[in-house]
């Protein structure tokens, strides 16, 4: 049929066609396309190139274009008909499903509130951003799989309390390297000792009350430096890395390098009792006996703010790692929260009837644990500022510390106790307990290790606490095994990513919000300048109708039809959501019933 | 018209005169200076018309038109003014350009909406190229290569792409578009045919002519018999089935009272029979028919003749006794008596078969003969001896009548049966459902098992709360005073110190009691702390006092603008009137409720963080109208700390990517506006296909040809 038809041939072909139809094979002409083969293009190319050398380039561009078009078309076609008969079916099509709980971990913000009733370009933008963020969440959840390390805990035999297991037994039972993590430093001369672990957990800084300061790489037990500052030492703290540390001495604040060389004596900071280093802001916060809370920017060496708290001697201090807010404990039983941006406390909460002796905040910034002179240990929810748990300790806790995985250690005199899950269920017994040689003055969990460091009057004790440290460290953030080069680069990077002290506040995500007050003000100004509100929702004005149909009643009726559209929208959404929830719940309960024990006639009498 | 035209043509030809030739060469030849030279010979319209008068009258119309033309003296319209002309031109141009431009619209919007644009837009396909594309003049040269290529081309095996051979591809394309189209067409045709057939059947059914139906049914029967015979030869099993069906029909006939003189027609005939001979005869015939039908059918046992005739066409099992009769009828089994109607029937059939070649004349002749015979028999007063043929004819006749008469009944019956069927079908599921429902209800009446707290809520909704045990509330854990303050009391709410810090402490057992006597210094410190702690009488009341003070401070103040002495007497001991005081007192709007309103032991600062505001966004970029929308788009982090690498790359991908060194040309029209006929490049390809096939077909071939 496809051959060329010359004019006189026309009639005969027509007749042939008629015959064909008459015989009734099919109406439709059979169109059999010969699949395009590779040699087709090659021949074409050859021809083109053989004919004309000058036109070659043009031809090639044309060909490229054609190829491009073809590819596009093919893509379209593929999209249309992806399935072919012979294709093997995947028994598990698509990607592996991710558990909902894991995805929830990465969810940020609520979408549906925003996208309802939006149109045009904005809708497109919102949709796209939503798509990308869901993809990000999904991917993050998918890759959460790559953190397989799980923490285990000490488990005793039947009728055996884990708190009665001695450190020596644990050290004997575990492998040599882990066993070596339990050790005592007998430093009875210059005690009691304060201590601080570096952020990566490799280095230990010890500061004796009577002036003994030493840096130790505690895992290899290599002494890096050891000095005596010949003055009373109130507190010691590592700065952003292991190269520098700050020592709060009797009068001033000093900064030394890891070799023990004095770098700075900061005269603006006097009578410092406690220090905290805010690593992302490069701020050293100090609390002095004169009631001043001061912030020192370590990267530039300038005092950021000095806040007179007017709360007396500030001997209890900790930081909230989540939002870099400083918590101070006061003798009148209150705990106050401070940021460098505000001269008054962000929050003051009454926690104890007596003075606050110690406090600590968990890594996520959700829980705060305080202990007071009233011998109580309290757990607060920092989101609602409400107490969650309250415990009575016979002797009261002098020092508190929380580990990365939420183990709480409390010291009572010379006894160190470790508690598990203090905010979940109420605890009755400690998870572990250990008696050290002298009264405890400093407590700290080592990051990324199952180790608790205890500084006391007779020196230092390193305890093994199974399940204390985070097993999965983020090598990009903090790498305990970083090489020298990596450490150097890390320092530069963190300096570049330094967060301004202005951003410290109760809610760290405030930066992602629009400044409503200013926005509103600007909007008001704009409205005044324009003479109308560009964002105002246009009020519904019913069309004027003739023949008496625009009577006030009718108009009112028409208005009623579209009244409260936004509210209706919200209601519709919530109703739909509730309905779906209910249905899901029903389905689940049904499934449970089905999965449960078989029905029997007597079942109804059981309760 | 053709005629006249020819005339026109011929007329001037016959009187043609030689045209004068111009001998002088002139630069200017004016069209106005040209004149008709032979004035006498000038052709006038009237001459032409005169000629037309002689022609037949079908030219009237044309003549009239021409006359009208002659009469007409309308002047041409003035040309449009320049402005108007230009306006029209502009309009046309606008339409033209707008259509032209609007063709770009899709491309433009697509590019605008694209997440990323890579320039140059048309790019060479990435990946390795085939050797033919890179090297132009490559040919298979070695004999081995040639051999291989010839082999491959013979089998249409692609050499470079590891794609499928045409055969495989064809098999893959088992259901291509074309095929689907063909199939659809076939189906359409079948449906059309069916509808035609149905229409035809309907039409035929409506025909009232008895004769027509008679002929029709006869033809049908013939056809059926013929078919049956064929079937016997080709597919004995099917034939057997068919035979069974026939048997069943016969049984039904026997069972029914069709030929029992009980029908309407038969009754009428009985009455008529007294006077009408024909009627009587018909009645008798029917009786005979009945007799025939009600006779027991003896199954023809092994028919020797048949066997001899077609020994191999029918297998042995055909003659088995069992399947012959109706399997449902136990009496029909195993009856093998030889006396039968069978041969008779077959005889009839044979006769009918003989009839086939007869033409109409013969049929007429025979009819006459029969009539004659009938008359004779009448004369004789004998019982009419009706030939078998006639019998059959008559029977058919009757049948047709009966059909007509019974159609109504049948219809009714059918309707009833259908109704019953429907009813049954409807009732069954209903019964089932009700059964299920009853079952369900029975199940539901049992006790409900509570699985979760939510369930208890549900329960509480359904029945009254009395059924459910009160869930131990967690409120005891919370601060007792956290309950909302009563709103009706206007007085400032005072927190009772005894309501603060009410949380019950749980005692923890400690294995080791601290034995250490703390250092002196530490103890000294402790004592100072203790002293500090108890310096204030009561910590709680102090704190509450502080809080109340703060609250009061933050309350907006009422401004009193009354001026004593204005409009009334003023002085010591005299107060401005209440009306005035009320009028000039400005009450500020109440502040939003404090964050710590419901937390008695907490003071939360209400100050705005001004330092942070400097870093916040305070103006929304263009398409955003609400802060929430913008916040939504910036809430998910972009950096690689929070995202996987690929996602981070996607999030931070630039909007426009340009290739280094590549020339970015403006968009060419024929590259992008192709959507309307995307198959345009394809004919080109197809054309090359054949030629290329011929050309590429093994280089070896070529040579051989040469």
* Minimum Cα–Cα distance from A351: chain B residue: B501
- The predicted pLDDT at position B493 comes to 60
Residue A241 near residue A491 (C-beta atoms within 8 A)? yes
For tokens 């220090």, the residue is A275
What residues 221-280 of chain A have any CB closer than 8 A to a CB of chain B?
none
Task: Report the C-alpha gap between A194 and A352 in whole angstroms.
Answer: 25
Q: Helical H runs in A81-213? A: 100-104, 112-115, 121-143, 167-173, 176-179
DSSP 3-state of B431: helix
* Minimum Cα–Cα distance from A114: chain B residue: B629
- The predicted pLDDT at position B431 comes to 44
- To the nearest whole Å, the CA of B100 is away from the closest chain A CA by 22
The pair of three-digit structure tokens given for residue A273, joined into one six-digit string: 């009792």
- The predicted pLDDT at position B322 comes to 41
B161 interaction partners in chain A (CB closer than 8 Å): 38
Q: State which of A35-39, B126-130, B649-653 shows the largest mean pLDDT.
A: B649-653
Q: What is the DSSP string of B75-119?
A: PPPPPPPHHHHHHHHHHHHHHHHHHHHHTTHHHHHHHHH-S-EEE
Task: Report the C-alpha gap between B300 and B95 in whole angstroms.
Answer: 91
Least confident stretch, B161-170, B219-228, B607-616:
B161-170
Q: CA dist B349 to A272, A488, B229, Å?
A: 129, 113, 11
Mean pLDDT of A570-580: 91
A37 interaction partners in chain B (CB closer than 8 Å): 156, 158, 689, 692-693
- The predicted pLDDT at position B9 comes to 46
Q: Do B627 and A352 touch (CB under 8 A)?
A: no
- Helix and strand numbers (H, E) in chain B are 27, 6
- What is the interface pTM, i.e. ipTM, of the complex? 0.77
pLDDT at B464 over 50: no
Task: State percent of chain B over pLDDT 90.
Answer: 11
pLDDT at A318 over 80: yes
A interface test, pick of B173, B439, B616 with most A CB neighbours within 10 Å: B616
* Minimum Cα–Cα distance from B500: chain A residue: A350
A435 interaction partners in chain B (CB closer than 8 Å): 512, 515
Residue A129 near residue B632 (C-beta atoms within 8 A)? yes
Q: Do A593 and B449 touch (CB under 8 A)?
A: yes
**Please, which residues bridge with residue A235 across strands?**
A248
Torsional class of A120: left (φ above 0), alpha (ψ -120 to 50), beta (otherwise): left
DSSP 3-state of B239: helix
- To the nearest whole Å, the CA of B641 is away from the closest chain A CA by 8
Least confident stretch, A472-481, B133-142, B549-558:
B133-142
- Asked if A32 reaches chain B (Cβ–Cβ under 8 Å), the answer is yes
Task: Report the C-alpha gap between A29 and A25 in whole angstroms.
Answer: 10
Task: Report the C-alpha gap between B548 and B496 in whole angstroms.
Answer: 12
Tell me which long-range contacts A537-543 makes (C-beta under 8 A, separation of at least 24).
none
Nearest to A111 among B158, B543, B632 (CB): B632
Least confident stretch, A32-46, A64-78, A308-322:
A32-46
Residue A360 near residue A400 (C-beta atoms within 8 A)? yes
Nearest to B132 among A26, A45, A514 (CB): A45
pLDDT one-digit tens code per residue, B349-368: 444 444 444 455 566 566 66
- Cα angle at B312 between B310 and B313, to 5 degrees? 70
Q: State which of A517-526, B26-35, B325-334, B524-533 shows the largest mean pLDDT.
A: A517-526
Q: Do B122 and A65 touch (CB under 8 A)?
A: yes
Q: Which residues, at least 6 apart from A513, have a Cβ–Cβ distance to it below 8 Å?
A: B616, B627, B631
Task: Report the C-alpha gap between B610 and B325 in whole angstroms.
Answer: 106
- The predicted pLDDT at position A431 comes to 92
DSSP 3-state of B221: helix
* Minimum Cα–Cα distance from A412: chain B residue: B514
- Asked if A494 reaches chain B (Cβ–Cβ under 8 Å), the answer is no
Q: Do A511 and B691 touch (CB under 8 A)?
A: no
Torsional class of B381: left (φ above 0), alpha (ψ -120 to 50), beta (otherwise): left
The pair of three-digit structure tokens given for residue A343, joined into one six-digit string: 């001269």
**Please, which residues bridge with residue A203 across strands?**
A217
Q: How confident is the model at residue A600 (pLDDT cuts 50, 70, 90)?
A: low
- To the nearest whole Å, the CA of A415 is away from the closest chain B CA by 6
Nearest to B636 among A136, A428, A430 (CB): A136
pLDDT at B247 over 90: no
Least confident stretch, A29-43, A282-296, A340-354:
A29-43
A607 interaction partners in chain B (CB closer than 8 Å): 447
Q: Do B182 and A391 touch (CB under 8 A)?
A: no
Residue of higher predicted confidence among B542 and B505: B542
- To the nearest whole Å, the CA of A427 is away from the closest chain B CA by 7
Residue A385 near residue A347 (C-beta atoms within 8 A)? yes
pLDDT at B35 over 60: no
Q: What is the bridge-based pairing of β-strands A432-435 and A415-420?
A: antiparallel
Q: What is the bridge-based pairing of β-strands A407-412 and A415-420?
A: antiparallel
A325 interaction partners in chain B (CB closer than 8 Å): none
- The predicted pLDDT at position A503 comes to 93
Task: Report the C-alpha gap between B668 and B693 in whole angstroms.
Answer: 32
Task: Report the C-alpha gap between B191 and B675 in whole angstroms.
Answer: 36
B513 interaction partners in chain A (CB closer than 8 Å): 394-395, 415
- To the nearest whole Å, the CA of B30 is away from the closest chain A CA by 47
B613 interaction partners in chain A (CB closer than 8 Å): 515, 517-518
Q: Do B477 and A120 touch (CB under 8 A)?
A: no
Q: How confident is the model at residue B14 (pLDDT cuts 50, 70, 90)?
A: very low
Describe the crossing of helices B236-255 and B277-294 by its angle, rounded to 10 degrees.
Answer: 120
Task: Report the C-alpha gap between A60 and B385 in whole angstroms.
Answer: 100
Q: How confident is the model at residue B477 (pLDDT cuts 50, 70, 90)?
A: very low
* Enclosing H/E stretch for A11: helix A9-23
Residue A263 near residue A255 (C-beta atoms within 8 A)? yes
- How far, in whole angstroms, is CA B388 from its chain's centroid? 62
Nearest CA among B418, B516, B454 for reference residue A456: B516
Q: How many CA atoms lie within 13 A of A402 on its CB side?
A: 25
Query: How much of chain A is helix, strand and coil, in % rounded to 5?
Result: 30, 25, 45
Residues A261-297, buried b or exposed e (16+ Cβ, 10 A)?
A: eeeeebeebbbbbbbbbbbebbbbbbbbeebbbbbbb
* Enclosing H/E stretch for A224: strand A222-228
Q: Do A332 and B543 touch (CB under 8 A)?
A: yes
- The predicted pLDDT at position A602 comes to 67
* Minimum Cα–Cα distance from B504: chain A residue: A390
Mean pLDDT, chain A, whole residue set? 85
Q: Do A390 and B651 touch (CB under 8 A)?
A: no
Q: Do A114 and B626 touch (CB under 8 A)?
A: yes
pLDDT at B305 over 50: no
- The predicted pLDDT at position B478 comes to 41
Mean pLDDT, chain B, whole residue set? 68
pLDDT at B88 over 90: yes
pLDDT at A455 over 90: yes
Nearest to B511 among A125, A164, A517 (CB): A164
- The predicted pLDDT at position A428 comes to 87
Residue B338 near residue B305 (C-beta atoms within 8 A)? no
Q: Helical H runs in A448-541? A: 484-496, 516-530
Residues A379-411, buried b or exposed e (16+ Cβ, 10 A)?
A: bbebeebbbbbbbebeebbbbbbbbbbbbbbbb
Task: State percent of chain A over pLDDT 70.
Answer: 85
Terminal C-alpha separation, chain B: 63
- How far, in whole angstroms, is CA B338 from its chain's centroid? 64
Residue of higher predicted confidence among B448 and A501: A501
- The predicted pLDDT at position A604 comes to 65
Task: Report the C-alpha gap between B351 and B506 in whole angstroms.
Answer: 116
pLDDT one-digit tens code per residue, A342-399: 999 999 999 998 899 999 999 999 999 999 988 899 999 999 999 999 999 888 899 9
Mean pLDDT of B484-494: 48
- Asked if A528 reaches chain B (Cβ–Cβ under 8 Å), the answer is no
Task: Report the C-alpha gap between B334 and A261 in whole angstroms.
Answer: 124
Q: Do B692 and A40 touch (CB under 8 A)?
A: yes
pLDDT at B191 over 60: yes
DSSP 3-state of A435: strand
B620 interaction partners in chain A (CB closer than 8 Å): 514, 519
Query: SS3 sequence, B549-612?
Result: HHHHHHCCCCEECCCCCCCCCCCCCCCCCHHHHHHCEECCCCCCCCCCCCCCCEEECCCCCHHH
- The predicted pLDDT at position B320 comes to 43
pLDDT at B443 over 70: no
DSSP 3-state of A410: strand
Q: Helical H runs in B445-577? A: 453-462, 520-533, 539-554
- The predicted pLDDT at position A162 comes to 87
pLDDT one-digit tens code per residue, A181-198: 999 999 999 989 999 999
A43 interaction partners in chain B (CB closer than 8 Å): 688, 691-692, 695-696
**Overall pTM > 0.80:** no
Mean pLDDT of B542-553: 90
Q: Which residues, at least 6 apart from A404, have a Cβ–Cβ distance to it below 8 Å?
A: A363, A445, A447, A448, A468, A469, A470
Residue B120: asked if its preceding bond is cis (omega within 30°), the reply is yes
pLDDT one-digit tens code per residue, B562-604: 888 888 888 888 888 888 888 888 888 888 899 888 898 999 9
Least confident stretch, A240-244, B74-78, B269-273:
B74-78
- To the nearest whole Å, the CA of B660 is away from the closest chain A CA by 18
Task: Report the C-alpha gap between A249 and A236 in whole angstroms.
Answer: 9
- Cα angle at A24 between A19 and A25, to 5 degrees? 105
A385 interaction partners in chain B (CB closer than 8 Å): 596, 599, 602, 604
The pair of three-digit structure tokens given for residue A281, joined into one six-digit string: 């802001």
- Asked if A536 reaches chain B (Cβ–Cβ under 8 Å), the answer is no
């Amino acid at each position: 049929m496809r051959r060329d038809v010359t004019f006189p041939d026309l009639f005969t072909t027509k007749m042939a066609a008629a015959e064909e139809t008459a015989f009734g094979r099919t109406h439709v002409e059979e169109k059999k396309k010969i699949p395009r083969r590779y040699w087709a293009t090659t021949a074409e190319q050859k021809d083109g190139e053989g004919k004309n050398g000058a036109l070659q380039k043009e031809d090639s561009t044309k060909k490229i274009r054609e190829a491009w078009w073809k590819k596009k078309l093919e893509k379209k076609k593929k999209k249309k008909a992806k399935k072919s008969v012979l294709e093997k079916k995947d028994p598990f099509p698509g990607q592996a499903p991710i558990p909902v709980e894991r995805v929830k971990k990465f969810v940020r913000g609520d979408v549906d509130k925003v996208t309802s009733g939006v149109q045009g370009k904005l809708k497109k933008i919102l949709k796209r951003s939503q798509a990308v963020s869901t993809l990000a969440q999904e991917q993050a959840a998918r890759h959460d799989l790559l953190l397989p390390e799980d923490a285990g805990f000490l488990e005793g035999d039947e009728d055996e309390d884990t708190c009665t297991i001695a450190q020596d037994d644990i050290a004997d039972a575990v492998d040599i390297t882990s066993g070596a993590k339990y050790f005592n430093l007998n430093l009875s001369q210059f005690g009691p000792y304060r201590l601080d672990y570096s952020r990566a957990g490799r280095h230990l800084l010890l500061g004796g009350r009577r002036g003994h300061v030493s840096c130790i790489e505690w895992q290899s037990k290599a002494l890096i430096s050891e000095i005596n500052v010949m003055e009373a030492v109130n507190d010691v703290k590592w700065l952003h890395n292991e190269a520098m540390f700050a020592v709060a001495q009797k009068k001033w604040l000093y900064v030394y390098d890891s070799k023990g060389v004095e770098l700075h004596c900061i005269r603006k900071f006097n009578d410092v009792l406690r220090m905290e280093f805010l690593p992302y802001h490069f701020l050293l916060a100090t609390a002095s006996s004169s009631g001043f809370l001061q912030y020192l920017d370590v990267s530039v060496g300038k005092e950021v703010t000095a806040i007179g708290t007017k709360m007396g001697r500030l001997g209890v201090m900790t930081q909230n790692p989540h939002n870099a807010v400083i918590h101070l404990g006061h003798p009148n039983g209150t705990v106050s929260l401070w940021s460098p941006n505000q001269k008054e406390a962000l929050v003051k909460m009454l926690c104890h009837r007596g003075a606050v002796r110690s406090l600590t905040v968990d890594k996520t910034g959700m829980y705060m644990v305080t202990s007071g002179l009233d011998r109580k240990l309290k757990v607060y929810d920092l989101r609602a500022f409400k107490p969650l748990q309250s415990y009575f300790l016979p002797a009261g806790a002098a020092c508190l510390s929380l580990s990365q995985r939420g183990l709480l250690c409390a010291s009572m005199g010379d006894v160190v106790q470790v508690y598990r899950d203090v905010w979940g269920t109420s605890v009755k017994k400690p998870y572990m307990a250990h008696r050290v040689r002298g009264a405890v003055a400093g407590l700290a969990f080592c990051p990324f290790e199952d180790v608790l460091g205890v500084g006391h009057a007779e020196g230092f004790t390193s305890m093994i606490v199974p399940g204390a440290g985070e097993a999965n460290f983020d090598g990009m953030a903090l790498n305990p095994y970083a090489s020298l080069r990596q450490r150097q680069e890390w320092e530069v990077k963190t300096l570049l990513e330094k967060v301004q002290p202005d951003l410290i506040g109760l809610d760290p995500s405030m930066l992602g919000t629009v400044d409503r007050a200013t926005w509103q003000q600007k909007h008001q100004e704009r409205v005044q300048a324009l003479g109308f509100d560009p964002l105002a929702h246009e009020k519904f004005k019913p069309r004027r109708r003739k023949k008496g149909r625009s009577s006030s009643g009718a108009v009112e009726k028409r208005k009623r039809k579209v009244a409260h559209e936004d509210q209706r929208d919200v209601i519709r959404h919530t109703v739909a959501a509730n309905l779906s929830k209910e249905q899901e719940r029903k389905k689940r309960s049904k499934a449970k019933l089905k999965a449960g024990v078989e029905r029997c006639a007597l079942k109804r009498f059981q309760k | 018209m053709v005629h006249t035209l020819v005339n026109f043509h011929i007329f001037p030809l016959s009187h043609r005169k030689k045209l004068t030739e111009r001998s002088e060469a002139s630069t200017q030849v004016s069209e106005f200076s040209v004149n008709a030279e032979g004035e006498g010979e000038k052709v006038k319209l009237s001459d032409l018309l005169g000629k037309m008068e002689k022609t037949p009258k079908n030219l009237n119309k044309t003549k009239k038109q021409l006359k009208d033309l002659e009469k007409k003296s309308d002047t041409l319209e003035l040309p449009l003014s320049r402005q108007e002309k230009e306006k029209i031109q502009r309009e046309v141009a606008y339409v033209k350009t707008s259509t032209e431009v609007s063709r770009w619209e899709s491309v433009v919007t697509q590019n605008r909406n694209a997440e990323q644009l890579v320039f140059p837009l048309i790019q060479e396909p990435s990946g390795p190229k085939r050797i033919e594309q890179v090297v132009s003049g490559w040919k298979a040269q070695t004999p081995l290569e040639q051999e291989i290529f010839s082999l491959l081309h013979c089998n249409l095996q692609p050499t470079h792409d590891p794609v499928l051979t045409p055969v495989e591809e064809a098999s893959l394309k088992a259901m291509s578009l074309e095929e689907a189209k063909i199939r659809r067409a076939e189906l359409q045709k079948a449906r059309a045919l069916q509808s035609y057939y149905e229409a035809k059947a309907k039409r035929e059914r409506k025909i009232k002519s008895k004769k027509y139906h008679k002929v029709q049914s006869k033809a049908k029967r013939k056809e059926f018999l013929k078919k049956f015979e064929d079937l016997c030869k080709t597919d004995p099993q099917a034939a057997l089935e068919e035979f069974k069906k026939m048997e069943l029909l016969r049984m039904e006939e026997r069972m029914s009272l069709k030929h029992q003189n009980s029908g309407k027609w038969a009754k009428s005939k009985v009455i008529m029979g007294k006077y009408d001979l024909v009627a009587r005869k018909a009645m008798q015939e029917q009786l005979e028919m009945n007799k025939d039908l009600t006779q027991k059918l003896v199954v023809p046992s092994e028919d020797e003749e048949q066997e001899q005739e077609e020994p191999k066409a029918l297998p042995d099992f055909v003659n088995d006794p069992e399947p012959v009769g109706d399997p449902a009828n136990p009496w029909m089994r195993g009856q093998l008596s030889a006396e039968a109607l069978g041969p008779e029937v077959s005889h009839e059939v044979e006769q009918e078969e003989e009839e086939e070649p007869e033409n109409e004349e013969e049929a007429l002749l025979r009819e006459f003969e029969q009539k004659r015979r009938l008359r004779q028999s009448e004369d004789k007063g004998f019982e009419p001896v009706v030939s078998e043929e006639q019998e059959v004819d008559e029977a058919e006749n009757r049948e047709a009548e009966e059909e007509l008469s019974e159609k109504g009944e049948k219809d009714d019956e059918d309707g009833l049966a259908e109704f019953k069927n429907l009813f049954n079908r409807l009732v069954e599921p209903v019964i089932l459902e009700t059964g299920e429902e009853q079952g369900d209800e029975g199940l539901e009446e049992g006790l409900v098992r509570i699985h979760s707290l939510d369930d208890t809520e549900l329960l509480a909704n359904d029945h009254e709360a009395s059924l459910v045990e009160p869930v131990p509330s967690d409120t005891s854990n919370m601060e007792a005073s956290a309950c909302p303050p009563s709103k009706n009391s206007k007085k400032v709410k005072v927190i009772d110190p005894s309501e603060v810090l009410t949380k019950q402490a749980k005692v923890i057992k400690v294995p080791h009691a601290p034995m250490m006597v703390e250092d002196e210094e530490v103890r000294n410190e402790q004592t100072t702390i203790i002293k500090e702690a108890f310096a204030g009488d009561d910590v709680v009341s102090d704190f509450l006092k502080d809080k109340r003070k703060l609250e009061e401070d933050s309350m907006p103040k009422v401004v009193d603008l009354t001026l004593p002495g204005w409009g009334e007497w003023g002085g010591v001991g005299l107060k401005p009137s209440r009306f005035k005081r009320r009028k000039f007192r400005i009450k500020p709007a109440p502040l939003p409720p404090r964050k710590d309103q419901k937390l008695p032991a907490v003071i939360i600062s209400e100050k705005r963080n001004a330092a942070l505001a400097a870093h916040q966004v305070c103006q929304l970029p263009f398409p955003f109208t609400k802060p929430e929308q913008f916040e939504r788009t910036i809430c998910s982090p972009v950096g690689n700390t929070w995202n996987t690498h690929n996602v981070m790359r996607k999030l931070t991908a630039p909007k426009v990517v340009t290739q280094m060194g590549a020339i970015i040309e403006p968009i060419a029209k024929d590259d992008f506006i192709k959507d309307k006929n995307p198959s345009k490049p394809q004919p080109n390809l197809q054309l090359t296909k054949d030629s290329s096939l011929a050309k590429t077909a093994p280089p070896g071939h070529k040579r051989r040809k040469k």
